[in-house]
Amino acid sequence: MNSRSNFHRTQQWQLAERQRYLSELEALGERVRADVERLHEEIEKVGGADALPSNKRLDPLFIRPLVDRHEKLMRSAAEIDAQIAEARAAVEASQQEVKLIEGALVHRGLRFEDRLTRRARRSI
């Protein structure tokens, strides 16, 4: 196997890994957004974020930990969305690289076939 086909296989492997990473990030983002929604509903059921007492020691319904967790999850969701955008850009760049390499291999293969047909014509 020559170096070009090895390089092509490496590029395809990198593309597959980047696509896998993107799909995992998207699944993680969905789970975090579902947790955010679940916490939001739980906070609303208890009385909403407006029911937070001014004194943390007088929090009989323990709303503050829920609100804090909700805020952390919102920040995590934003970070994951940024990572998803970066991963999509990396996948698109990888797809372009693979297409260029495949095009070069096809072009090289066609030239090789052309050489074979010329040799076959000469021998006739």
User: pLDDT tier at 114 (50, 70, 90 boundaries)?
Assistant: low
The residue with greater pLDDT, 116 or 77, is: 77
CA–CA separation, 62 and 65 (whole Å):
6
Average pLDDT over residues 50-79: 76
CA–CA separation, 100 and 79 (whole Å):
32
- pLDDT of amino acid 49: 62
CA–CA separation, 62 and 18 (whole Å):
42
Q: Is the dihedral of CA 79, 81, 83, 89 positive or negative?
A: negative
- pLDDT of amino acid 68: 87
Q: Using one digit for the tens of pLDDT, what is the confidence trace for 14-40?
A: 999 999 999 999 999 999 999 999 999
First to last CA, the chain: 31
Q: What is the pTM of this model?
A: 0.70
91: buried, middle or exposed (CB in 10 Å: 19+, 13-18, 0-12)? buried
- pLDDT of amino acid 7: 77
Domain segments of the chain as ranges: 3-123
Two structure tokens written together for 102: 């495949």
- pLDDT of amino acid 10: 85
